[in-house]
Structure formats: structure tokens, C-alpha cells
Amino acid sequence: MSYLASLWTQLIAWVSTHLVEPAVVFLHIADTAGNPLEISEALLIALLQLFIIGFIFRPLETLAPAERWEERGLTRIDRLYTLLMLLGLFPLFSYLVLTPFANMLGGLGGEAEAGPAVSSGLKHWVPWFEDHPYLLFLVYYLVYDCVYYWMHRAQHAIPWWWALHSMHHSQRQMSCWTNDRGSYIDGVLQSFILATVGLAMGVEPSEFALLGLLSELVQNLSHTNVRFGFGRIGERLLVDPKFHRLHHMVRDPERPSLHNCNFGQVLPVWDILFGTALYGEKIRPTGVSDPMVDADNDRGLVGQQWQAARRFWGAVRRPAGWRLGEVLVRPRLCPHPQRRGRAPARACGRGAGGRSACGLNPAASGPGQVPESVDAVARAVPRGPVLGPEIQRLASIGPLPDAVLAGDDHPIPAAGGARRGGQGRPVLRADAVAGALADGVAIEGVQAHAVGGHHRAVADPGGLAHHQR
């Protein structure tokens, strides 16, 4: 162990002398860049993490995939997020925000010449820890991980926070790169919360960096697209890929609360203690059932960040954005409670003509409207061999906007916007209902009573979504 520590120290010194110091001199920031050794260590840690992800976790996805994909197009943007986070944004944020914040709080105890250094945090409250640094670090980690667990539950329970965090969950191809996919606003919030807890406990900057590294590596592994876990004992000691994949599952309409599980970051003990652990379920597709959030898969990095910020702004400025519970994002970016049965009439307040402020008809449950309840849509989907991820997304969606299906054999471009039809209400296109409707699959029983008769939604290989009587 001492040999490896010595080798690591020499490597840091070499990088500092031959790379970092010449770079800061060239950029004329030598006086403000901080300690070159610390910069070198952060750079090496980032490169080490990239090496582990790219050359260990990624090959495992080929050898034992949980889901087999014909192509991995959706994973490319997650790889970009990881590169930006490890080599750019996180070091920059740490340098510009977290380090000055830590130095400010660390300097409150007075100058060095005023007396010997005074222990802070846990070492101040329990001096015994001074002589037991490894146990102290273990306590640090338990507190850090417990705080993350409750923070993660808040991300799912508070609508304005879910508006940000949902971007991370929108990924249909969850892979070893997905951990760093997320809203940067959300990332700043998380960093401040965890850093504040670390400072309150008296964690040294080097120890906090190690906490972060260990957590990141376990999370990179837990997002990996592999079908194995750590066994019946290991899966209860450490979060494994099977455990976390269940957390990312698409909402099951028959068990609509099943996905509210497995919030732990590194240690599943918190899920076990607080009743949110789920074991033994089969592998399920990942993603979200909300089409407004699922659309993130069709956007680039800037588009994803912009839409997440818009969803956040649409939620945080409304009372509905502060009411705890699962929500769907409506076209006007208003969070709408997602629950069994008919949607509540005043989820977002009232607008003109008795409609809710987010564009829903609160009473849309009788003839002339598309059913709004999750269960009504779920019952409309046939159970049989045609059920796949796309049909499951259809069964998960609700409540639906006040809309009518198009008239007989009326084609609606699958990539287009909503069109006006029937009695002046917007036409709901099939891909907006299903999220991603499988080509050539007829979904019998999707009923609407406007424009006369019963209709069915069909997606043909030509890319047009037809509503036919």
C-alpha cells in the first residue's frame, strides 16, 4: 500500500511539473490558479475515472447486457456529459465556487498565529476520532450517503425539483455514461447541499474529494447496462446495477408506485431501513412515461438543459410545483399530479373557459373527451405478445390533454405538432400518446367518442400515425 501511495505522489508531482505549471504560466494565471499539486491530483482522478468507465464498465455492457440495443445512439450524449463533467465543468465549479466557500468557512477560526489549530465538526464533538481516522472517514461516508438518499427522495417528491431531475431519468438507454447526465441547475443544488454537510462535519477538502470519487465510481457502475448484480448478500451491502436499474424503470400502470424505489446512492441500507428497497423484480425498460420529458431523447445537450430549466421555471413559480407527489409535465410546463383515477380539477388553477391553467379540461372523463385517468388508458391497451417498451409507455401515460382523435383515415405526421380537428379541439397524434409508438402495431381499444364512432391508433412503416375508425 505504501508503494502505491508513493507511486501516486510521484505521478502527481510529475504531472504538476511537466503539465500543470507550464500551463498556468502560459495562461498567466499562476497567482490565482491555486496549488499545482492539487490541480494535478484532480486531473489524474478524473482521468482514472474515465479509464475505469471506458475500459472496464463499458466492455461489461457488451459481454453481459441487461438490454440489447441494435445501436447505442442515445448513449452518445451521456458520454459527452461525462467528459464535460470530469474534465471541465466540475473542476471549474469546484475552483470558482466550492473552494472559496470552503476557505471562507475554514478561515473563521482565526489566523494561525493566534494559537494551535482547533478541530471542527465531528473531531471537535468527539475528540476520540482524532486517533481513529479510518473510523472517522467511515462515519463521514455514512452521513454523506444518508443525506444523498433523502436528497434523492426529495428530487422525486418535489415537483419543481423533479422538473430538473427528470432529465436524468428520461434516458431510454441507461449505460455506464448516464450518471453524469443531468441538469446543471440540479447539479449546483446537489453540490451545495453535500458540500455544506461536509463542511459542517469538518471534512477536509482531500477527504471530500475521496468521498466524491468513491461515490461517482459506484454510481457509474450502478448505471451500467449489465444484467448481473452482487448476489443475495452483496446487493444488500452495496448498490449494484440490478438494484439501480429498477429505480430507472418506466412506470408500470398495473403497479403505479413500483418505480418509487431504490433511491440509495452507494449503500442500500437506507432503502432497507426506510422501506423503499425493491429486490427480485425482472429487468425492465428504463425511461419515463411522460412524453414531455421523454422528448429529451430527441434533443442535444443545450436543448436538454434549456427544456429542463423551462420545466423548472414552470413548476417553481406555481403552487402545484411545491405540492409533494408525482407529476406529469403539461404542454404549458405546468406540473399536473399523476395519480390513480380522474385528475383533480384545480391542480394548476383555472384559466379561461373553465380550463386549468396548464391546458387540461378538469372534467374530461365523459363522452366527447379522451379519458384522462392513467387506469383508463392502461385498460385500453391489449395484453398480449405485442406489448413492448413503446406500448408500455402508452399504458403509463395520463392524464391526457382535452383532445379528440382525428377523423376517418386522417394522417397526422408523427413528428408534427398537434392539429385542430373535430369540434375545434386539438387532435392528439398517436406518438404523443405513446411516446414512441411501434411501427405497424395496432393498438385496439384506444377509444374516443368525438368525431363519431370508436377509433384505433395505427403507426405505419411510412412514419405517419393514423387514427382510423
Q: What is the pLDDT tens value at each position of the chain, 469 positions in all?
A: 567 778 888 998 999 899 888 988 888 877 766 778 877 887 888 888 899 999 999 999 999 999 999 999 999 999 999 998 887 655 555 555 555 555 555 544 444 444 555 566 777 788 888 887 888 888 888 999 999 999 999 999 999 999 999 999 999 999 999 999 999 999 989 988 888 888 788 877 667 777 777 888 999 999 999 999 999 999 999 999 999 999 999 998 888 889 999 999 999 999 999 999 999 999 899 999 999 999 999 999 999 999 999 999 999 999 999 999 888 887 667 777 775 543 333 334 444 444 444 443 333 333 333 333 333 333 333 333 333 343 344 444 433 333 333 333 333 333 333 333 333 333 333 433 443 333 333 333 333 322 223 333 433 333 333 333 3
Q: Do the Cβ atoms of 400 and 372 come closer than 8 Å?
A: yes
Q: Is 105 exposed, middle or buried (0-12, 13-18, 19+ CB in 10 A)?
A: middle
Q: Is 147 in the same domain as 41?
A: yes
Q: Is 334 in the same domain as 385?
A: no
Q: Do the Cβ atoms of 432 and 370 come closer than 8 Å?
A: no
At which of 309, 339, 369 does a domain end?
A: 339
Residue 368 lies in a domain: no
Instruction: Give the pLDDT of residue 106.
Output: 52
Q: Is 298 in the same domain as 395?
A: no
Distance CA 415, CA 125 (A): 61
At which of 339, 356, 390 does a domain end?
A: 339
- The 10 Å Cβ neighbour count of residue 359 is 17
Residue 207 lies in a domain: yes
Q: Is 282 in the same domain as 155?
A: yes
Q: Is 260 helix (H, G, I), strand (E, B) or coil?
A: coil
User: What's the total number of domains in the chain?
Assistant: 2
Instruction: Give the pLDDT of residue 86.
Output: 81
Residue 349 lies in a domain: no
Distance CA 335, CA 326 (A): 9
Residue 385 lies in a domain: yes
Q: Is 191 in the same domain as 303?
A: yes
Q: Indicate yes or no: pTM above 0.75.
A: no
Q: Is 316 in the same domain as 213?
A: yes
Q: Is 332 in the same domain as 387?
A: no
Q: Is 53 in the same domain as 141?
A: yes
Q: Is 265 in the same domain as 414?
A: no
Instruction: Give the pLDDT of residue 146.
Output: 96
CA–chain centroid gap for 143, Å, is 22
Q: Is 437 left (phi over 0), alpha (psi -120 to 50) or beta?
A: beta
Residue 42 lies in a domain: yes
At which of 288, 322, 339 does a domain end?
A: 339
Instruction: Give the pLDDT of residue 347.
Output: 39
Q: Is 333 in the same domain as 434?
A: no
Residue that the C-alpha cell 382525428 belongs to: 406
Residue 107 lies in a domain: no
Residue 357 lies in a domain: no
Q: Is 288 in the same domain as 399?
A: no
- The 10 Å Cβ neighbour count of residue 429 is 26
Instruction: Give the pLDDT of residue 108.
Output: 41
> Which residues constitute the domain of residue 397?
377-469
Q: Is 276 in the same domain as 395?
A: no
Residue 352 lies in a domain: no
Q: How far is residue 60 from each of residues 26, 107, 213, 279, measured CA to CA in Å?
A: 41, 46, 21, 22
